[in-house]
Amino acid sequence: MDLLDLFFLVVALIAAVLTVAATASMFWYTRRRSYPGSPTPPVTIFKPLKGLDEHLESNLRGFFQLDYPEYQILFGVADAQDPAIAVVQRLLAEFPAQDAELVIGNPPFGLNPKVENFAAMYPRRKHGLLLISDSNVRVRPEYLRETVFYLDDPNVGIVTNVFTGVGEQKFGAVLENLQLNGFIASNLCFAFVLRITCVVGKSMLMSDRALEAIGGLSAVRNLLAEDQAMGVMVRKAGYRIRLSPHIIENVNESRDLTWFLNRHSRWLKIRYQMALATFLVEPLGNLTAIGLLWALGSGSEISLAGCAGLTVLGICRDAVGSRWLRGSWPRWNHLALSPLKDLFMLPIWFDAMVNRRISWRGHRLIVGRFTRVRSERVSLAARRRLRRIQRVRKSSPHDGLRHGLQTPSQSVRRVARQGDLFDPGPRS
């Protein structure tokens, strides 16, 4: 055995051990538990909406059917013409007894439209426990009860959930759900074993006292990864973070390859900016890539065997994760795409180290330290509108104040927003 084979053998063994440990931690954290006499304090649920996510109506209907005594649902939509409004109105008519409200319109608040949506809904809240939930997730009736349970401990500031990808039909959705059910879910649980802060905004329950301890929503209004940033801040404020075993479903049905690559490129750049150490060791979870590099670099019999073994282990991880989390195995022709999915992840991991630009629903943004975002450029139309506003202010400064014209910095934010520079599209 030469030195190259020895090196890759050591790397392969480390990668295999970490993969098995991560999968074992997933089994441990998501095992079924009982909640006898669990507390049920009232909760306010925030549902930010933008456009028609896949199966939006059935996703939202589950939140009207929760097995929980008292909770409020706030639906937030920025645009009065958003098609999600009609979906919410149908559900409000279908469940008139539920304490639910639709909030339309966002005040200027920051560069993260999701946080801006929260800011519009926040004054309407009635309860001290706040649950932030994305529009593309589906839950079971016991979801709220099994998540709130962990906030009975006053030292806990945030509770988050494991999520599983379901419904795949098209190519990108198949890759997405394999990645969610294998690498993402297992390493989310493994992070909690290792005491690494990891919070997923698809389901994030927190107390208002924890939110106030970090400075409220203003602390994250210009951050791309507001969920993870909240987790880091809450932990620094002295609170603990818990992972609920209740598994929520993330519906991905008709996604294409471009969507898959853009989404994980964005997630990798978030992890690079927020958790560099874990980002750098992340390729150890890319079993197919390690095996292929070994085989191409050595070409020996042991390298070929190692490549085959690592590839099979990666397929098994994705298959077992899917079966455990959602109760069904992936189709064989879908599972055969698992190695290809790993290979797609390798170049976008390298790209995250050198490229801070992201494509977020068709818009170009630059991600800085701690995921602070800024627009890569302002459109020509937006700049022209800004110049017109500034000319009006110079010619009639008093009239401008009387009619509510903003300061130059406020105008920039308003024009950029009107130019859709920060419109995220449907939540993902």
The per-residue pLDDT for range 337-372, each reduced to its tens digit, is 999 999 999 999 999 999 999 876 555 788 999 999
Give the per-residue pLDDT at 120.
Answer: 95
Give the per-residue pLDDT at 107.
Answer: 83
Give span(s): CATH 3.90.550.10, the chain.
Answer: 25-178+191-258
pLDDT band at 385 (very low <50, low <70, confident <90, very high): low
Tell me which amino acid residue 35 is.
Answer: Y
DSSP code of residue 182: I
Give me the chain's average pLDDT, please.
Answer: 89
Give the per-residue pLDDT at 411.
Answer: 41
Q: CB neighbours (10 Å) of residue 156? A: 18
Alpha-carbon span 268 to 275, nearest angstrom: 10
CA atoms within 13 A on the CB side of 54: 17
> Taking 50 as the threshold, does the pLDDT of residue 274 lie above it?
yes
Share above pLDDT 90 across residues of the chain, in percent, rounded to a whole number: 80
CATH topology for 25-178+191-258 is: Spore Coat Polysaccharide Biosynthesis Protein SpsA; Chain A (3.90.550)
Per residue in 110-141, pLDDT (tens digit) is 888 899 999 999 999 999 999 999 999 999 99
Check: CB of residue 231 under 8 Å from CB of residue 197: yes
pLDDT band at 39 (very low <50, low <70, confident <90, very high): confident
Alpha-carbon span 400 to 391, nearest angstrom: 10
pLDDT band at 428 (very low <50, low <70, confident <90, very high): very low
Query: To 5 degrees, how large is the angle CA 426–CA 214–CA 207?
Result: 70
Alpha-carbon span 97 to 111, nearest angstrom: 36
Tell me which amino acid residue 37 is.
Answer: G
Query: To 5 degrees, how large is the angle CA 367–CA 369–CA 370?
Result: 95
Task: Determine whether 67 is an active site residue.
Answer: no
Selection from 264, 284, 248 nearest residue 172 by Cα: 264
> Taking 70 as the threshold, does the pLDDT of residue 418 lie above it?
no
386 to each of 116, 222, 240, 364, 378, how far by Cα in Å? 22, 21, 45, 20, 10
Give the per-residue pLDDT at 365.
Answer: 80
Backbone phi and psi for residue 207, each to the nearest 5 degrees, phi listed first: -90, 155
> Taking 60 as the threshold, does the pLDDT of residue 415 lie above it?
no
Q: Give me the catalytic one of 53, 134, 227, 318.
A: 227
Give the per-residue pLDDT at 34.
Answer: 80
pLDDT band at 7 (very low <50, low <70, confident <90, very high): very high
Contacts of 256 (CB under 8 A, 6+ apart): 170, 171, 172
Q: Which of 13-17, 103-107, 319-323 has the weakest average pLDDT?
A: 103-107
